[in-house]
Copies of this chain bind each other. A is one copy, B any other.
Amino acid sequence: MSVTAAKGFRAAGIAAGIKDSGNPDLALVVNTGPRQAAAGVFTSNRVKAAPVLWSEQVLKGGTVSAVVLNSGGANACTGPKGFQDTHATAEKVAEVLDLNAGEVAVASTGLIGVLLPMDKLLPGVETAAAQLSEHGGEKAAIAIKTTDTVHKTAVHEGDGWTVGGMAKGAGMLAPGLATMLVVLTTDADLDGDVLDRALRDATKVTFDRVDSDGCMSTNDTVLLLASGASRVTPAYAEFAEAVRAVCDDLGQQLIRDAEGASKDIKVEVINAASEADAVEVGRSIARNNLLKCAIHGEDPNWGRVLSAIGTTAAAFEPDRLNVAINGVWVCKNGSVGEDRDRVDMRYREVRITADLAAGTESAVIWTNDLTADYVHENSAYSS
């Protein structure tokens, strides 16, 4: 289903030879219209990969006719030559599909600091273009994997319209808008401004709150393309909820496939003075390596939750903090609460609830445990 669930899109995924492994590494998504509206959010890392710099410019034009994505190399920190390579990739897509290069977005993922093998990538564009299909979404999703063990797709069916999408991401997952490569498509008949609003509203509470390892990528890209092929213009609230649901679904898949993880940790911060406070506290908890190790060991070590909360500027009084792990309030009023032996941590999902007792706002941040497998995978990285 993926990016071809909505009408008006064709896609392909092929092995261009960018990866030494011979696995698929090049994807193409084409919007056949009738309209080519688009919105995008990108990493807020100030060190941006060449394809991010390029695609930000493309999005400013408001029209995206095609997206070309590669795994096997991030094309980040590659200087002027890297930017020329991104440009040449867009030009190649434009040439093969008879489009304007200024309407071709580019996304790359893989190792930073390595130039792409253009002698393989450019012929790959031709191969992919020849395989474009209304059923190609699955293959495209497979071709953007790096350390992902599974490909990620999601679909939401509206009343006569559809939102679908694909995502990749397994490490370097931390908010800085997106945290991964994501392409969403819809056949709803909407303009770029509406897409932009819906996408920002959605990523703010989904991808922006997925924080696997606190490391922000140079390549994060989330695109939303609309073909208008359904001829239906849904109400904003309905459409925005569909986009949020698809982003949430994909975000959950990213967490479940995070590098080396054995636990998915839902950090709920409740009774905060503001949503910003709730997010700050949730992120501080989610990034605490000691806590993440404890959760890996199925140790309900709430002291590490409190020490993480204590490093924030959020409104709270230390002696009013309450913490539950999987529903057991192991910390009450900043001190020892219910018996920690009552906490059952055998299952993959672990829920940490931090009650700031300072207001009525809340937020959820998703993270993972820290494992020896994460260390192993990232001390010998290859895409």
CB of A341 to closest CB in B, whole Å? 13
* Given A77-B334, A336-B115, A215 contacting B375 (CB threshold 8 A): no
- Cβ of A331 and Cβ of B299 under 8 Å apart? no
* A316 CB contacts on chain B under 8 angstroms: 46
A376 contacts B by Cβ under 8 Å? yes
CB of A227 to closest CB in B, whole Å? 34
Report the bound CA distance from A48 to B318 in whole Å. Answer: 8
* A81 CB contacts on chain B under 8 angstroms: 335
When the two chains form the complex, which single residue of B79, B290, B301 contacts A336, counting CB atoms closer than 8 Å?
B79
Interface residues of A in 293-350 (CB under 8 A from B): 293-294, 296-297, 299, 301-304, 306-312, 316, 318-319, 321, 331, 333-336
- Cβ of B76 and Cβ of A113 under 8 Å apart? no
- Cβ of A45 and Cβ of B375 under 8 Å apart? no
When the two chains form the complex, which single residue of B79, B111, B379 contacts A334, counting CB atoms closer than 8 Å?
B79
A282 contacts B by Cβ under 8 Å? no
Report the bound CA distance from A78 to B133 in whole Å. Answer: 63
Tally of chain A residues near chain B (CB < 8 A): 66
Report the bound CA distance from A115 to B287 in whole Å. Answer: 27
- Cβ of B218 and Cβ of A310 under 8 Å apart? yes
CB of A260 to closest CB in B, whole Å? 9
A380 contacts B by Cβ under 8 Å? yes
A216 contacts B by Cβ under 8 Å? yes
* A381 CB contacts on chain B under 8 angstroms: 294, 299, 301
A96 contacts B by Cβ under 8 Å? no
- Cβ of A370 and Cβ of B380 under 8 Å apart? no
A39 contacts B by Cβ under 8 Å? no
Interface residues of A in 365-380 (CB under 8 A from B): 370-372, 374-380
13 contacts across the A-B interface (CB closer than 8 A): A46-B309, A46-B318, A47-B309, A78-B335, A113-B303, A113-B336, A213-B289, A214-B289, A215-B289, A290-B378, A296-B375, A299-B381, A375-B375
